A and B are shown apart, each in its own frame.
Chain A
Amino acid sequence: GAGVSQSPSNKVTEKGKDVELRCDPISGHTALYWYRQRLGQGLEFLIYFQGNSAPDKSGLPSDRFSAERTGESVSTLTIQRTQQEDSAVYLCASSLWTGGYGYTFGSGTRLTVV
């Protein structure tokens, strides 16, 4: 597509429920990144996919967080047993094979855990 598409744009969920967030990167972008941004704060790296290589999961805050990507296409970020501290905007970005070209960001998914 023309840009990075994220869905849903907003998600309200009850504490303890599981949620899935979706990211559809720009076609041809082999690298895909997930970040978390708490209100008015900076970017917290979560996970990085590069083609068919094993993902860099070093930023995932707990084992409740997981992400998948099939090849160079859509990625899903799953948060199990959501907690109130998971409330944030989850941003996805994609880039050509190296981040040195810069990232293109999606508009994010605003997750609210009540």
Chain B
Amino acid sequence: AQSVAQPEDQVNVAEGNPLTVKCTYSVSGNPYLFWYVQYPNRGLQFLLKYITGDNLVKGSYGFEAEFNKSQTSFHLKKPSALVSDSALYFCAVFGAGNMLTFGGGTRLMVKP
């Protein structure tokens, strides 16, 4: 069965600094990988996905993610964090059962 690990419950970063939110995965076959963001009192919003092709995927709101097959990782990155990026971030992998398996989430706190 597939699995996703987000090793950090919370990431703190100062506004203007680069941010990284970590994700590692385990799945049979080629991975389909996703990042979602959840703002307070909202549902999850799609940020970006990797299916195939370039290992660096660009998404919404200036976010990007780097697929690393050898390390089975799909870390979310942004060159310059904004206070408005503060939210809960979920990594997910598509696998058996025709469903997405989600990580436990990482809370990103960007301080002014």
Residues of A whose CB lies within 8 Å of any CB of B are: 4, 6, 31, 33, 40-43, 45, 48, 50, 56, 91, 93, 98-100, 102-108, 110
Cα distance, A106 to B19, chains bound together (Å): 27
Residue in contact with A42 in the complex, picked from B41, B98, B103, CB distance below 8 Å: B103
Residue in contact with B102 in the complex, picked from A6, A42, A100, CB distance below 8 Å: A42
The prevalent SS among residues of B at the interface is strand
B104 touches A42 (CB 8 A): yes
Q: Report the nearest B residue to A35, measured CB to CB.
A: B102
Sort chain B's interface into a size bin. 20 to 34
Q: Hey, which chain B residues are within 8 Å of A105, CB to CB?
A: 36, 43-45
Cα distance, A45 to B107, chains bound together (Å): 20
Known: A42-B90, A56-B97, A98-B98. A91 touches B46 (CB 8 A): no
**B100 contacts partner chain A, Cβ-Cβ < 8 Å:** yes
Residue in contact with A99 in the complex, picked from B43, B88, B100, B103, CB distance below 8 Å: B100
Q: Hey, which chain A residues are within 8 Å of B51, CB to CB?
A: 100
Give 19 A-B pairs besides A33-B99, A56-B99 with Cβ atoms closer than 8 angstroms: A6-B43, A40-B107, A41-B104, A41-B105, A42-B105, A43-B105, A48-B99, A50-B98, A91-B44, A99-B94, A99-B98, A100-B51, A102-B49, A102-B100, A103-B100, A105-B36, A106-B43, A107-B42, A107-B43
